[in-house]
Amino acid sequence: MNSPLPLLLILLLASCGRAPETATSEASNLRLEQQRDYLRIYHGDRPVLNYWLTPQLPAGLPGHYTRSGFLHPVWSPAGAVVTDDFPVGHEHQHGIFTAWTHTTFRDSFVDFWNTQKELATVVHQSVEDLLDTAGYVGFTAALVHRSHAFGVILEEDLTVRVHDRSDVFVWDIRSVQRNVTADTLFLNKHLYGGFGARGSRYWNAADSAFYTDPAEFLTSTGATRDSANHTRPEWTAMYGPLPDGPAGLVVIPHPENFRWPVAVRVHPEMPYFSVSPVVEEGFALAPGQTYESRYRVLVFDGAPQPAQIDALRWEKSLGD
């Protein structure tokens, strides 16, 4: 839906460097706060998720790792941070993010995911809309997938909606990517690419300062880390112990997504997975053609509850 005029005024003032503003939803438990660098959504006084508007780069990292337009931190209802960004050993991964890896454009290899290759990146451009209605709040952001050699190849509209639920945080992502060039982009068959989820630094064995235990995985078919890789489940959970208790997240691709149920890349050692339609076969985006995908994310404390996950799938509740 279109944003009410007051929210548009808040956006304009924030973009001009004024003091941070807060918008409270008609669903009174939810509010969206906009700072200069990020958008953050709360349920009551508890943060749910954070989206980065400005380029981020931790001190000491080379400039090619700079990234914006991703979600981190992602919090559980009890306040546990279940994601990581710029993780030790894989600094090109960022919380919840979108990017393609093995692509071909004008007979050249382009990798938007692995920014350390210095070939391409993904960048936030603007906030297009703020969503405020009974039952959820959210936003739509414009991003570009840019090749260093060829310029912008894909424009993306990324919409995030957080539902008014507190026992488990429930939010939806809709990504629409359009080839804005005069040439075809070939998304080649590969191990991963498309949608990425990076888990907590406490699950990252390469991070000696914080690591405690490996992440665990569970899919809708009952597969775990040892057996889930390159299967095609209807949902995938990543979870594990954290300083204040176990927590995790579940990603549920929409049943209308391309090649649903979509294959997942579950890494055998690191805390991340990718929902990727190119695991078994690539595809092409011709000039002007779009690729749309939707995902429901559940963020929980404790261990994943399959009955609860199934009850919150797209076709079961909360609408689409």
pTM score, whole prediction: 0.90
Residue 318 forms part of a structural domain = no
Q: Does an H or E element contain 126, and which?
A: strand 120-133
Q: Give the integer Cα–Cα distance in Å for 8 and 127.
A: 10
CATH number of the CATH domain containing 264: 2.70.98
pLDDT of 25-51, one tens digit each? Answer: 444 699 999 999 999 999 999 999 999
pLDDT of 186 over the 60 cut: yes
What pLDDT is attached to residue 19?
Answer: 38
- Note if the bond before 73 is cis, omega within 30 degrees: yes
Residue 128: phi and psi, rounded to 5, are -90, -30
Would you say residue 157 lies in a domain?
yes
Q: Using 50, 70 and 90 to split pLDDT, how confident is the model at 315?
A: low
Supply 87's token pair: 């993780």
Count the domains in the chain: 1
pLDDT tens, position by position, 106-147: 999 999 999 999 999 999 999 999 999 888 999 999 999 999
Residues in the chain: 320
In a domain, 319, yes or no: no
**What domain range includes position 13?**
5-311
Return left, alpha or beta for 230; rule: phi > 0 is left, psi -120 to 50 is alpha, else beta: left
Query: Of the ranges 1-5, 142-146, 215-219, 238-242, which one carries the lowest mean pLDDT score?
Result: 1-5
- Residue 274 in any domain: the answer is yes
Least confident range from 8-12, 20-24, 48-52, 183-187: namely 8-12
Q: How far is CA 25 from CA 131, 139, 237, in A?
A: 9, 12, 29
Assigned domain for 212 exists: yes
Q: Is the pLDDT of residue 152 over 90?
A: yes
Residue 228 has pLDDT above 70, yes or no: yes
Residue 316 belongs to a domain: no
pLDDT at 13: 36
Structure tokens at 119: 């070939």
- pLDDT, one tens digit per residue, over 47-91 is 999 999 999 999 999 999 999 999 999 999 999 999 999 999 999
Which has the minimum average pLDDT: 3-7, 150-154, 248-252, 275-279? 3-7
